[in-house]
Structure 1
Amino acid sequence: MIDLTETSVSSEELFDGVLLHAHRDTVRLPDGRTASREWLDHPGAVAVVPLFANGDTMLIRQFRFPPRRTFVEVPAGKFDHDDEPSEAVGRRELKEETGLSAETLTPLGTFFPCIGYSNEVIHVYLAEDLTQGEQELTDDEFAEPMRLPFEEAVAQAMDGSLADMKTITALTRAHYAIQQRGAKI
């Protein structure tokens, strides 16, 4: 196999924001030449698929400013600290956005949603043995929980009704995990 690794020779920070940090790196290409790469440093995130005992799930409706529209999504949020465990982030975001607490969180892996311009990684969990409480949204967060059959949510992910990639990925991974254990929804 050919070594395709690009090695950073120098890095310039272009923007230091609250969430994102933009960089321009000069990289050494596999053939020895150099090129420029612009990329965003992201703290990472966790997405959670809640699964109720009766086969329902809970998604949220939330306005997203960059595309200027409302999306239906799985509960999710970013890491607040470098050393924060992904399971703790998942539990926090599930509670904040839906009011749900989960006795069981099953890891469903990670994925990189924007490999062409960001190092963001999203950890996915299946949340079960749920207890309903009150939402704990932050002061600048608005989200409307939506309870629906899990199979309906998966169908929406597959037919294009849902447009958020983390939600589509999280739902299909959860669906696969449930099928693997032989459970009927």
Structure 2
Amino acid sequence: MNLPNSSDSEDNKQPHSITTLSTRVVYRNPWLSLREDEILRSNGRPGIYSVIDKQDCAVIIPIDFDVEGGRVWLVEQFRYTVQERCLELPQGGWEMDDVDPEELARGELKEELGLHAEKMVYLGWTWIAYGFARQKQHVYLATGLSQTEKDPDPEEHDLVVHSMTVREFEERMLDGTIRDVCTLAAWGLYLLWKARQ
């Protein structure tokens, strides 16, 4: 079996299989815009592609290593789209372009948990749901945690703070209590980073 050369995929040397013929914004609000692109596939078939554009965001893994086995801080909030209260790592964006990712991560940590991190380690970034959305999420490990004043925004009025051991956190991911893909992906990046330390 011939596998693609890693440098080929990194440089993205392959020709695009879809060409954008035109684009128009069909909806916009302060949080996102929805555009509709007229496209032409490499097989000659035309089509329409709908894309949600959102600014970069951050997800933070706050771990207190002073507790035996480590303790993770999480938030629980009502997620309207799925009509459920969900448990997840703190995450969010500021609906602004050109925000420093670490500043954003520190801001979300303060807003949602009322925590300050002595150290922030950048673990990388992921695309969120790139089948229909263009949004990048930066992943940070936050350690050396200390309490500060919370500063929730109006959409976070129902946010509840939780902390649990790393073992409990992983059990909740495995048993399906935590289904948030950003939380799962961030934890995967953390485990890969940790294995290489």
TM-score, normalised to structure 2, is 0.85
Query: What is the CA–CA distance in structure 1 between the aligned matches of 2:188 and 2:175, rounded to whole Å?
Result: 12
Q: Is the 8 A contact 1:62 1:72 kept in 2?
A: yes
Alignment match, 2:126: 111
Query: What is the CA–CA distance in structure 1 between the aligned matches of 2:80 and 2:64, rounded to whole Å?
Result: 30
Percent of aligned pairs sharing the same letter: 26
Q: Compared with structure 1, are the counterparts of its residues 18 and 80 closer, same or farther at alpha carbon in structure 2 (3 Å cutoff)?
A: closer
1:24-77 CA-partner distances (Å, limit 9, x unpaired): 101232234432101111112100000112210100111111111110010111
Asked if 1:160 is matched to 2:161, the reply is no
Alignment match, 1:42: 54
Query: What is the CA–CA distance in structure 2 between the aligned matches of 1:46 and 1:141, rounded to whole Å?
Result: 16
Match of 1:93 among 87, 101, 108: 108
Give the paired residue count: 181
Report the RMSD for the aligned CA atoms in angstroms: 1.7
AA in 2 matched with 1:152: E
Q: Is the 8 A contact 1:75 1:97 kept in 2?
A: yes
Q: Could you list the runs of 4 or more consecutive aligned residues of structure 1 that deviate by over 4 angstroms after TM superposition?
A: none
Query: What is the CA–CA distance in structure 2 between the aligned matches of 1:43 and 1:88, rounded to whole Å?
Result: 14
Question: Structure 2 stretches of 5 or more lacking a match?
Answer: 5-13
1:68-93 CA-partner distances (Å, limit 9, x unpaired): 11100101111332111111110000
Alignment match, 1:137: 152
1:91-148 CA-partner distances (Å, limit 9, x unpaired): 0000110011111111111111211111011111110111112321113313111010
